[in-house]
Amino acid sequence: MNSIQWYEQHAAAVIPRYESLEAEAVHRWLLELIPARPSLVLDIGAGSGRDAAWLADQGHEVIAVEPAAAMREEGQRLHPSARIRWIDDHLPALQKVHRLGMAFDFILLSAVWMHIPSTERSRAFRKIITLLKPGGLLAITLRHGEAEAEREVYEVSWEEIERLAREHGAIIVRKVEESDQFNRSDVTWTKIVISLPDDGTGALPLLRHIILNDSKSSTYKLALLRTLCRMADSTAGTAHHLDDESVSVPLGLVALYWIRLFKPLLQADLPQSPTNRGAKGLGFAGEGFRSLSSISHLDLRIGARFSGTAAKGLHQALKETVKTITEMPAHYLTYPNGSQILKVDRSSRLLTPTEILIDTAYLASFGQLLIPKHIWLALLRFEVWVEPALIAEWIRLMKGYASGQGRPLNEAEIAAAMTWSDPSRDVTVARQRAIELLNSKELFCVWSGKRLSEQSLDIDHCFPWSAWSCDDLWNLLPSDRGVNQHQKRDRLPGAKVLRSAQERVQFWWDAAYLQAINPLIPVRFTSEARASLPGLFDVAHSFTLDDLFTGMMMQQVRLKHDQQVPEWTG
């Protein structure tokens, strides 16, 4: 029998046991997290109504969901509160609850998740999380241990809940391990509280709505949002703050990242609409895109150079992509009132160059994408939660398209194609320049001031690769091996540490990069810095090293506060 039938048949024995425990004692682990003000609460699997009554006594309005009629009827008799509304509904669909059109401040799922088969949990979680208000809390208790065979109890894990939360733009704010309150030695509990971050501007609810609920005839809307996530993470310095309402980013950079996202997907023949296979039928995948077949998507980055037919093909691919973005996702991404969220200021005519240096000037020549400031700031601050939700929904769409085409998709291929591939960790240029300087003059560790030798030299990622995979030349600094590997390690240098190292850092930047004989090195250095560090896009073309260091200090603040990177204080 299923779990609902089991509770129907055993209600007379189960209800007295549940009622023998005080709700406050059972949920002591989350007392301070439950809203203090009267709120709208959803109790899924309310059982005998013990928890619903406790919450109603605190002034909350409670929707109590219980599919077993015997449990529900006895709950209504035991707890006849005017603040409790009972509903006969169940997971994974929760159809009746969704028809109410309500959003909840607090959702309780106590001793329910273990009754949901693993194949239905993704859908169930999606149904639950879309009922939660921004800033609201979802409490889930997971039962571990054996149960009666006919009770339909499945194995559960907190790692699964963490993954589902991440895929839906939510975060775990509390995790508690507890023994069983009925003193069953073979039963333990994991108790989890999940929150939907809210930036207070309405940006995150809007993004979540677009990702999870908005109608989609292809993956284009998700692609454009993920492109902006990637830009917010790695090239935020290209954003130009126009006024209090909007930010502009180079339209060519949007197109470049779009191509980077789609190249591995189309090579793996993953469908991007119900009808397409590979690149066929996609507006941006024209002659220019096809000409890039021999070019790795990893080469499509700021600082790269192309000439001849490769330059012509890339330029054409960017033009085709800009056209598709303008006419499709940028046009159809709208607010609930139907007005367009993203505006495109597109250049009317572009001459095809014979040589391309991918820098901000070239990328801006295609025009600008105008983004509401609160949306851009939300991506800057919450990209780490927004992007996993985008990826999960993108994969769900592709699987649906493939199913409609009557073909399976390989999970490993999907995962590989969906991974944003940054350039591999490469410090070759920085190390080569350091060794050249060691042979001609003294070189010192930027952190300790120790004189370096080839034996003691390490090239350190100032902002650690583990937190921010950035191989830009400005981020690669000479360090004493002992200091780098045993003291700083994968931590973010604190503001005082950075400030004390400023003179040595700027000496290195000048000697290693700006004075390099190879003319490509200073060009790459300045292009990368302008793209990835805040503030440099708006200053004069030949920004100073003081400007660059100021941008570095600003990026340190962002990584410290937005991504909570552990700090090294020296």
Q: What is the pLDDT of residue 307?
A: 85
- The residue extents of the domains of the chain are 3-195, 203-418, 428-568
pLDDT exceeds cutoff 70 at 14? yes
Helix (H) or strand (E) holding 283: none
CB hemisphere CA count around 172 (13 angstroms): 18
Structure tokens, 527:
């292009």
Q: What is the pLDDT of residue 149?
A: 65
First to last CA, the chain: 62
140-177 pLDDT, tens digit per residue, is 999 898 766 667 888 899 899 999 998 888 889 999 99
196-220 pLDDT, tens digit per residue, is 888 777 888 889 889 988 889 999 9
Query: Measured between alpha carbons, how far is 558 from 318 in angstroms, rounded to an integer?
Result: 30
Are the beta carbons of 182 and 17 closer than 8 angstroms? yes
Q: What is the pLDDT of residue 322?
A: 97
For residue 11, name the pLDDT band (cuts at 50, 70, 90): confident
pLDDT exceeds cutoff 60 at 69? yes
For residue 6, name the pLDDT band (cuts at 50, 70, 90): confident
Q: What is the pLDDT of residue 516?
A: 92
10 Å CB burial of residue 410 (0-12, 13-18, 19+) is exposed
Are the beta carbons of 85 and 60 closer than 8 angstroms? no
Q: What is the pLDDT of residue 562?
A: 59
Q: Which residue has the higher pLDDT, 273 or 537?
A: 273
Q: What is the mean pLDDT of residues 512-517?
A: 93
The answer, yes or no, to whether the previous bond of 478 is cis (omega within 30 of 0) is no
Nearest to 529 by CA among 424, 566, 428, 521: 521
Angle at 74 between CA 70 and CA 75, to 5 degrees: 115
Query: What is the DSSP track for 8-74?
Result: HHHHHHHHHHHHTS-HHHHTGGGGGGS-SS--EEEEET-TTSHHHHHHHHTT-EEEEE---HHHHHH
- Phi, psi at 225, each rounded to 5°: -65, -40
For residue 424, name the pLDDT band (cuts at 50, 70, 90): low
Q: What is the mean pLDDT of residues 428-440?
A: 91
Are the beta carbons of 488 and 479 closer than 8 angstroms? yes
pLDDT exceeds cutoff 60 at 115? yes
For residue 423, name the pLDDT band (cuts at 50, 70, 90): low
pLDDT exceeds cutoff 70 at 541? no
Nearby residues of 121 by Cβ (< 8 Å), 6 or more positions away = 92, 113, 160, 164
Helix (H) or strand (E) holding 420: none
Average pLDDT score, the chain = 89
Q: What is the pLDDT of residue 460?
A: 94
CA separation (Å) from 476 to 34, 47, 75, 565? Answer: 46, 59, 64, 18
Query: Measured between alpha carbons, how far is 484 from 330 in angstroms, rounded to an integer?
Result: 45
For residue 367, name the pLDDT band (cuts at 50, 70, 90): very high
Q: What is the pLDDT of residue 537?
A: 59
pLDDT exceeds cutoff 60 at 494? yes
- Report the sign of the C-alpha dihedral through residues 403, 409, 414, 415, in that order: positive
Are the beta carbons of 132 and 208 closer than 8 angstroms? no
257-296 pLDDT, tens digit per residue, is 999 999 989 988 899 999 988 778 898 999 999 998 878 7
Query: Measured between alpha carbons, how far is 75 from 66 in angstroms, rounded to an integer?
Result: 9
Q: What is the pLDDT of residue 538?
A: 55
Q: What is the mean pLDDT of residues 422-435?
A: 83
Structure tokens, 436:
């050249």
Name the least confident of 1-5, 226-230, 405-409. Answer: 1-5
Q: What is the pLDDT of residue 289?
A: 93
Residue-wise over 346-366: b if at least 16 C-beta within 10 A, else e? beeeeeeeeebbbbbebbbbb
Residue-wise over 190-214: b if at least 16 C-beta within 10 A, else e? bbbbbbbbbbeeebbbbbbebbbeb
Structure tokens, 354:
């014979």
Class of domain 3-195: alpha beta
pLDDT exceeds cutoff 70 at 540? no
Helix (H) or strand (E) holding 314: helix 308-327
